[in-house]
Amino acid sequence: MRQSRPSDSRLTPDERLESEQLLSPEEADLPAGRHAFHKEALMTFIQQDTRSTTAASAAPPSAAPVRRRLLRPLIVLPVAACSLALVAAGVLTFTGSGEAGHGSAAGPALTATVGAGTSAGVPQLLDRISLASAESPQVEVRAGQYVYVESKVATTYEKTVGDKTTLASDGIHRRQVWLSTDGTKGWLIDPAVSPPGGEKLDRTNEKGESEPSRLNAPTYDYLATLPTDPDTLLAKIYKETKGMGNSPDQQAFTTIGDLLHESLPPAELNTALYKAAAKIPGVVHVEDAADAIGRRGVAVARLDETSGVRTEWIFDAKTFTYLGERTIQVRPDGGDSGLIKPGTVLYTEAVTLRRVVDELKETPASGA
């Protein structure tokens, strides 16, 4: 006998997913739009990576996987399917020849248990998180200083060599980022995507022109100008990200996550971002999630219905301190190859240190 289930109109994407698991295989809908996801992800990548081009076009089709230098890996793309298109767009460089990066050998795909998501209690959880943020010590950032963020990260990606596609990861590794308050100077050390010793970050595009700050490429100075009223802030996010991502709500959630994770927003803005997130449809509470170094906590999350990927912001369950972020495949047959199964962790991060320093590449003593 077929089991009854709640009306889909009342359920978040996560809750609909749990309900769909009650159906027989022939009744359950497979996720559609995988090609659309990769197309949209590619366009988002092109819009957001503003660094200058190097001699990437010389790389042969069988070259090593494309390793992105974005401050956070945003997408997972099949190498053979996207590398030439990205090179043609003039937005990235190949950083290895036969390896997954300089000093980061390819390893097995990362996996984890997919926790159940529920819309119950989301406003209350985000209220507690915003209150904890408001009560945290204030950090003064002066002109000429640098925001330093240290984390442990890893990415799972599809790797295509010839006609064979497999899943691989760059393994959990240390990542260090320095960004000047105005965004004119920066440095990245990440063995999966940067050469030994790191590389310069700047705000120039492929034409060598300076790019202005914006929501998807913010600086500390820019963050300080954003409205701190949650409704006004969310309206600005929806307006300025219109047409990006797989849906307006998912893009708004992703944008807020990007503003939170590898930056140091002013305290009032930090609080406003959490309150704004509570107003986005489809946001759920996940009772148990873990960051890249295994710290367990609660998560605020949202499922991208096009890709079947859920983005999770992870917080300490007692103090509600931000721990990190994770993106995990929730629905079957992810990626163009269909190899990305539920439980595959596409990106994981644990923020271990945020500080303000006076010099580029200065490492705080507690960050060793």
Instruction: Assess if residue 4 is contained within a domain.
Output: no
User: Inter-axis angle of helices 122-135 and 267-277, to 10 degrees?
Assistant: 180
Instruction: Assess if residue 301 is contained within a domain.
Output: yes
Could you give the CA distance from residue 79 to residue 355 in angstroms, rounded to a whole number? Answer: 35
Task: Residue 70: count other Cβ atoms within 10 Å of its Cβ.
Answer: 18
Q: Can you give the pLDDT at residue 208? A: 81
Instruction: Assess if residue 94 is contained within a domain.
Output: yes
Instruction: Assess if residue 282 is contained within a domain.
Output: yes
State pLDDT tens for residues 31-64: 333 333 333 343 333 333 333 333 333 333 333 3
Is the distance from CB of 355 to CB of 179 less than 8 angstroms? Answer: no
Q: pTM of this prediction? A: 0.74
Instruction: Assess if residue 187 is contained within a domain.
Output: yes
Instruction: Assess if residue 74 is contained within a domain.
Output: yes
State pLDDT tens for residues 327-362: 999 999 887 778 899 999 999 999 999 999 999 999
Instruction: Assess if residue 53 is contained within a domain.
Output: yes
Per the structure, the count of domains in the chain is 1
Q: Can you give the pLDDT at residue 15? A: 53
Could you give the CA distance from residue 313 to residue 290 in angstroms, rounded to a whole number? Answer: 10
Instruction: Assess if residue 24 is contained within a domain.
Output: no
Is the distance from CB of 197 to CB of 243 less than 8 angstroms? Answer: no
Task: Write out the residue range of the structural domain in which residue 325 sits.
Answer: 34-367
What residues in the chain have per-residue pLDDT under 70?
Answer: 1-105, 366-368
